[in-house]
Structure 1
Amino acid sequence: MLRGGAGIVGLTKLSRSIAGSPHGLRYCFGGMTDAAQVPFINPDSDYPCCWFCPALRLPRTGFLVVDRPSRHWPFDAADGYRYSVDGRIPVCVSPGRSDWNLSGQLLHRAYNRMRDTLTGVFPALERAFNFSAHKGAVVLLTGFQTLAALRRMGHSRLTAWLAKRGVRLPHGVEELAIEAAKAQQTSLPGEDAAAQIIEDLANSILNLTERIARVEKQMEKMLNEHPQEPILLSMPGMGHILAAELLVAAGDFSAYATEGHFASAAGMVPVSRGSGTRTGINVRPKRYSRPLQRALFLAAQAACFHHQRDRDYYSRKRAQGMRHSAAVICVARRQIRMLWTLLREDRQYQIDPPERGTDA
């Protein structure tokens, strides 16, 4: 028997789509009136959400949530929101973005904006560090963004300043920063205004990094309490984040009759478009769970890179003329069959499957 997903309560912020709801409608909270008139999401909280989400300005009863944008929820250029056609009710059209993935996208954008602004006033310092892989360099930018500021500090004072803020190997960061200050001789106009922007972006990057780490720890703790966590983590290409995404997107595994139904829900089963004498026409499905497909596709793609058996299977499919995405979907289908077997037999994945007992 496949056990249910009762232990995953709390990992998901949005429930599964209401069965039979039109146009992918997930929530229909009713009218626009609410006694408290308090926004559903507090902008100062740790709840990751799109900046333009109506949940930031409206109570729970004041907006709808749908799976994806469509003509049924037209965009209003006057205020930048989408509304229902009939009742002019604000609509959230990207519920899949209201998770830790959005935080990662915002983090990359902040890095790019910070580096772009720094290049305009202090290109030597921008070339000296790989900021996305060096937290100490980002900490440096919270206090020093210009050529003159670094020159005023000097070696020993800058090293002490970095060490006080918990930077690992502060002497190495200090040497690279001072060398960058010596390599550039010209102070560029407008650097004071740019320095404030760089400082704000550096602080936002550090805060967002801490939030992501905190959410991932919380996610891992909740995942460890789920009964099917050992089975999922034993599979090739499956880590804590993808396992949590899969459990949230799939819900209760016992709701799927077979592994074919599960694959169909993930959009990995072609749909027949034959009619009359036109037979054998299979096309890509249009109605399926995008989050579920994403989790399975990424797990299969990681397995192709890091596990020999999946890599050989992927290579065979490519040799047959399949594109990369089609070959990865074939690997994902094989992993779905493997997952279904592991859940049915309640055991973890092993490279060499256990020997089956023979009847006497």
Structure 2
Amino acid sequence: MRLQSALKLYFPQALQWAGTDLASPMACDWLLKWPTLAAAQRARPQTIRSFFYARKCRSATHIERVIAALPTAKPLTQDVAVLAVQPLTVQMLAKQLQLLGKSIAAYEQQIQILFRQHPDAFLFESLPGAGKTLAPRLLCAFGSDRARYPSAQNMQTYAGVAPVIERSGKSCWTHWRWNCPKFLRQTFHEYAKVSILYSTWARAYYDQQKQRGKRHNAAIRSLAFKWIRIIHRCWQTRTLYDESLYLQTLAQRGSPLCALIAEPA
């Protein structure tokens, strides 16, 4: 990151004091207010406290650590050329990040407005853990045209979640699909990962795959494969997802997942 690189040249302390996320509003505000160590050292302790409090940072440990470190902090360099140019670069980048943050917020607001207006929004809101971020992405993944994906396999293959099986003579091997929309695959991968925290059977299925020797990402892809089948069914029939109903179905079918779900945590 260019901003991080610039700070490392003359003001590395800001990487800890301004916050770990340099793209955050608080970090940008800090760098615009105190772009150099000398500028920060001129600030009174109460000014530092007020700065953090105004930005909802109430970590007394962090605030007092910054205040205690300021008087004895040593500049990394006294090079006039560096100190004349790099603070300007830092402030320029901080302003750009502030503008970018506002633009992203505007996009997110518009996404929520359009999502709420879509007739299928309620379907994707019912998915455990989808939330404001993944529910719109999943809706966009499936779209409104039910004829485009007549079966779950169509989506699994197109999204790159379904593995590729190749055969040659007596040999047979399986690998993941390289040629696919990467963001679409990432959407299902991210949702499957999040669902582990909110869905009982999803957690059990993930644990089952891990017990069978699969690595984390492979287990998540397997879970995404199952979720696509479930979401596709809800999407085609315009039916809300019901976790309790799905658990009942698993029990009726005698699924091995039921034993894992019944195990004490």
Structure 1 residue aligned with 2:105: 213
Q: CA RMSD in A?
A: 3.3
Equivalent in 16, 31, 35 of residue 141 of structure 1: 31
Equivalent in 85, 100, 104 of residue 193 of structure 1: 85
Is the 1:125–1:181 contact (alpha carbons within 8 Å) kept by the matching residues of 2? no
Structure 2 residue aligned with 1:321: 213
Unaligned 5+ segments in structure 1 are 1-108
Alpha-carbon spacing, 1:325–1:127, altered in 2? closer, same or farther (3 Å): closer
**Equivalent position amino acid for 1:291 in 2:** F
Give the match's secondary structure for 1:269: coil
- Bigger share in helix: 2
Structure 2 residue aligned with 1:11: none
Most deviating of 216-225 and 266-275: 266-275
How far did 1:169 drift?
6.3
How far did 1:223 drift?
1.1
Alpha-carbon spacing, 1:343–1:352, altered in 2? closer, same or farther (3 Å): same
Is the 2:166–2:174 contact (alpha carbons within 8 Å) kept by the matching residues of 1? yes
The whole-number CA distance in structure 2 between the counterparts of 1:235 and 1:297 is 14
Structure 2 residue aligned with 1:304: 196
**Equivalent position amino acid for 2:16 in 1:** R
**Equivalent position amino acid for 1:226 in 2:** H
Equivalent in 144, 149, 165 of residue 256 of structure 1: 149
Deviations 1:283-333 (A, max 9, x none): 433433323212111111111244332111111112112232222122112
Matched, 1:330 2:225: no
How far did 1:347 drift?
2.3
Task: For 1:122-141, list aligned pairs within 5 A.
Answer: 122-132=11-21, 135-141=25-31
TM-score w.r.t. the length of structure 1 is 0.57
Deviations 1:18-76 (A, max 9, x none): xxxxxxxxxxxxxxxxxxxxxxxxxxxxxxxxxxxxxxxxxxxxxxxxxxxxxxxxxxx
Task: For 1:134-283, list aligned pairs within 5 A.
Answer: 135-155=25-45, 162=51, 167-168=55-56, 178-186=67-75, 188-189=78-79, 190-251=82-143, 252-274=145-167, 277-278=169-170, 280-283=172-175
Tell me how many residue pairs correspond in the alignment.
241
Is the 1:237–1:300 contact (alpha carbons within 8 Å) kept by the matching residues of 2? no
Give the match's secondary structure for 1:274: strand
Give the match's secondary structure for 1:347: coil
Alpha-carbon spacing, 1:177–1:118, altered in 2? closer, same or farther (3 Å): farther
**Equivalent position amino acid for 2:29 in 1:** V
The whole-number CA distance in structure 2 between the counterparts of 1:184 and 1:346 is 62
Is the 1:144–1:150 contact (alpha carbons within 8 Å) kept by the matching residues of 2? yes
Deviations 1:94-113 (A, max 9, x none): xxxxxxxxxxxxxxx3xxx3
**Equivalent position amino acid for 1:313 in 2:** Y
The whole-number CA distance in structure 2 between the counterparts of 1:278 and 1:247 is 42
How far did 1:155 drift?
4.8
The whole-number CA distance in structure 1 between the counterparts of 2:44 and 2:165 is 71
Is the 1:249–1:291 contact (alpha carbons within 8 Å) kept by the matching residues of 2? no
The whole-number CA distance in structure 2 between the counterparts of 1:159 and 1:327 is 46
Is the 2:48–2:67 contact (alpha carbons within 8 Å) kept by the matching residues of 1? no
The whole-number CA distance in structure 1 between the counterparts of 2:167 and 2:240 is 40
The whole-number CA distance in structure 2 between the counterparts of 1:267 and 1:151 is 53
Alpha-carbon spacing, 1:280–1:185, altered in 2? closer, same or farther (3 Å): closer
Quote the sequence identity (%). Answer: 22
Is the 1:128–1:180 contact (alpha carbons within 8 Å) kept by the matching residues of 2? no
Is the 1:124–1:183 contact (alpha carbons within 8 Å) kept by the matching residues of 2? no
How far did 1:348 drift?
1.6
How far did 1:157 drift?
6.5
Alpha-carbon spacing, 1:167–1:270, altered in 2? closer, same or farther (3 Å): closer
**Equivalent position amino acid for 1:270 in 2:** P
The whole-number CA distance in structure 1 between the counterparts of 2:13 and 2:181 is 47
How far did 1:204 drift?
1.7
Give the match's secondary structure for 1:273: strand
Unaligned 5+ segments in structure 2 are 250-265
Structure 2 residue aligned with 1:288: 180
Structure 1 residue aligned with 2:7: 118
Structure 2 residue aligned with 1:51: none
Is the 1:314–1:328 contact (alpha carbons within 8 Å) kept by the matching residues of 2? yes
Most deviating of 336-345 and 133-142: 133-142
Is the 1:124–1:181 contact (alpha carbons within 8 Å) kept by the matching residues of 2? no
